[in-house]
Amino acid sequence: MAFFDKEIDITRNIKIIEWLKSELLEDVSSLFKLLINGMREEVHDSISETLSNIILISYLLGKRLGISYNAIELKIDNKIKLGLLESHDVEKHYGDLSELAKHLNSSRNKNR
């Protein structure tokens, strides 16, 4: 790859990173706006749409920053395990971490 091509690729990568960062901020802002109105049935679809965008953008931003999807998922798994060990409040009161761990494991087993 020529020097000029590398320069263009670096510039393009920086632009994509900046764009992803702004998209992430926009979606977080949208989520907060949706939550101001409370968790009504009619906003569930909008909230799930926004949350899925945040997760997707986080994966793509990590990739552009040189972090593999597997590394991100490993960090998520480790955070879940730590939360279970430390009996995080969300686990203690609701069992959400156990439920998430089961969901992620079953999703991964389906894909194999």
- The model's pLDDT over 66-88, given as tens digits with 9 standing for 90+, comes to 999 999 999 999 999 999 999 99
Q: What is the pLDDT of residues 53-62, one digit of tens each?
A: 999 999 999 9
As given in the structure block, the two tokens for residue 1 are: 């790859």
**Secondary structure class of 33 (helix, strand, coil):** helix
Token reading at 99: 């439920």
Residue 46 has what pLDDT?
A: 92
